[in-house]
Amino acid sequence: MAGNDGENWIYSETVKKHFFDPQNILKVKPEEYNADGVGYVGSPACGDMMKMWIKVDKLTDTIEECKWQTFGCASAIASTSILSVMVTEKGGMDLDRAMDITPQEITERLNGLPDRKIHCSVLGDKALRAAINDYFKNSKQEDRIKKEKAKIICKCVDVTDHEIEDAVLEGKQTWEDVQKKTKCGTGCGACRPRVESLIKQYKLQYFGDK
């Protein structure tokens, strides 16, 4: 399969399996599912949106059930399917460990994703963290809530490090592409060294040495 830019998108057999037979999709109405925590994230830029529901074993502090629904591509569906398996297998994953799941771990369990589709694996882990944080809020454990505060990198147009990270994950891996996507540096341009440093950091973090 090839993308619009001509790049070959080779999907592993694991990706195909979880796309054609996704696990743990919520098949009842959300209001009929008694979840302990609910998380929602969306990426309007690529059209993918994700909602996740979790049930928690209060005695073991582990994820008992993980259900989800998405409006997204094959990679988003497969990534979230395998993630829902990862956090519920072997008796359920500890909540603190689940909060630290990375896109790389999800991608590895899928035996890889095309570079341009790696951002899809971020939807699932972000939705999971949001659901766990919602559980912490609902269970009066606010001290366990983890949220990363965005930092403004381009003060002229208020572009944050999170927006730059999302742009890189969507395949914008040069200063010109990130600027076009986020509008950073269109004012005084003083942010360019910091933006280029972040691009390099996120490329290494998500794509290795490519």
Which residues are known catalytic residues? 46, 120
CB 134 within 8 A of CB 56: no
DSSP, residue by residue, 153-183: EETTTTEEHHHHHHHHHTT--SHHHHHHHH-
Tell me, what DSSP letter sits at residue 68? E
CB 102 within 8 A of CB 96: no
Two tokens, residue 113: 């994703």
SS3 category, 197:
helix
**What are the counts of helices (DSSP H) followed by strands (DSSP E) for the chain?**
8, 5
CA distances (Å), origin 167, targets 52, 84, 152, 156, 178: 23, 25, 15, 18, 6
The residue count for the chain: 210
